[in-house]
Amino acid sequence: MPAGAGAKKTKKRKKSVLKRAKQSRQREAVNRANRTQVRTAVKRLRAAIDSGDTKASADLLRPTLAALDHAIAKGVLHANTGNRYKSRLALAYNSLHTARKA
């Protein structure tokens, strides 16, 4: 048996590498929380629109659009993606309200 066969080699890590890894984990947690908040808000608004509930959809529209804007500002969503979501939600909301008025 060769000498040192039982010893494992471990690579030394610089402080900067460890710090970047820690920052990455923290940023991942924040991004995940923001993404979850956006998805939940969008699901609730879509459910309210699909059920035809004008009061609930009116109450949920502004917070949902605000959550999308926040995610765009924080870099969780690309600007075009967020704006596409906002546009489609607004179209669905407006079609619901025009259908109710007619």
pLDDT tens-digit map of 43-62:
999 999 999 999 999 999 99
Q: What token pair was written down for 53?
A: 């509930």
Q: What is the pLDDT of residue 2?
A: 63
Q: Which residue segment(s) compose the domain that 87 sits in?
A: 20-101
Q: How many domains would you assign to the chain? A: 1
Note whether residue 7 is domain-resident: no
In a domain, 1, yes or no: no
Asked whether residue 27 is assigned to any structural domain, the reply reads yes
Please tell me the predicted confidence (pLDDT) of residue 5. Answer: 65
State the CATH number of the domain containing residue 90. 1.20.58.110
